[in-house]
Amino acid sequence: MTREENRPITDLGTLKALAHPLRMQLYRGLGVARTATASQLAEQVDEAVSLVSYHLRKLAEHGLIEEAEPQSEDGRERWWQPSSTSVSIRDENFRDAPERVAAHLAATRLFHEQRAGMYRRYLDERPGWGPEWNTAAPDNESLLRLTPAELAELGAELLALAEKYDEKGRAAEAAGDTEGRENVALHVYGFPFRV
C-alpha cells in the first residue's frame, strides 16, 4: 500500500482518536520504528499487549495507521505502520464550533506536554549521550518581529528543511550508513506574544 506523504486531520473523531495520551505515544513510537507489533510497542510504553492492541485498532479505524507486511515468519503477529509519513492538524479546521475549538486546544496541549517530556528525558539523560551529541543538539530561542504571513512562511521553510534532512538520513540509512545515526526529535514552535 502506498502511504500518503502528509495526512491533514480535519474531523473531530480522528483528532480525538489521536489526542489520547497512550495512542499518541503509540503513534509516535510506530513513526520511529516504521513497523512494529503490538507486543513490541507494549514493551516500549510498559502497557499490556491487549490494551495496546485495542488502541492500535482505534488508530486504524481512523486511518492513522494500517497493517504492514509481516516482518517475520510468525503468522500470528500483526504488524502495523503509519498510514502517512506525517499528520497535520491546523487551527483553521477546528474554529467552527466550541467543541471543535476545545478539542483542538486539548490535543495541542497534550502534544506539547509529551514533546516537553521527551526533551526533559533527554536533559536527564544528557550525560550519557556524550559531548558530540550534546554539542550538536540545538537549544535556542529567537525573538522576532513578524506578520502572520511571515511567520507562516518561516514555518513552511523550517518544515521543508526538516523534511530535507529526514530524506537525507533515510537515504543514507537505506544505503547502509548507520554508524552514529540516532533518532532525533526536532520541535519547533512559533507563536505571538506581548510583553
Give residue 32's identity as a one-letter amino acid code: V
Would you say 3 and 83 are in contact if contact means Cβ atoms under 8 Å apart? yes
Would you say 129 and 45 are in contact if contact means Cβ atoms under 8 Å apart? no
Retrieve residue 56's grid coordinates: 492500535
pLDDT of 70 reads 86
Would you say 116 and 109 are in contact if contact means Cβ atoms under 8 Å apart? no
Cα–Cα dist 141/192, whole Å? 13
Q: What are phi and psi of 54, to 5 degrees?
A: -60, -50
pLDDT of 73 reads 78
Tell me which residues of the chain have a pLDDT lower than 70.
1-4
Using only C-alpha atoms, the chain has a radius of gyration, in whole angstroms, of 18
Q: Going by DSSP bridges, is the β-strand pair 79-82/65-67 parallel, antiparallel, or unpaired? A: antiparallel
pLDDT tens for 120-161 read: 999 999 999 999 999 999 999 999 999 999 999 999 999 999
pLDDT of 1 reads 46
Distances (CA, A) of 7 to 10, 86, 89: 9, 6, 9
Output DSSP code: residue 111.
Answer: H
Q: What are phi and psi of 147, to 5 degrees?
A: -90, 165
Whole-model pTM over 0.85: yes
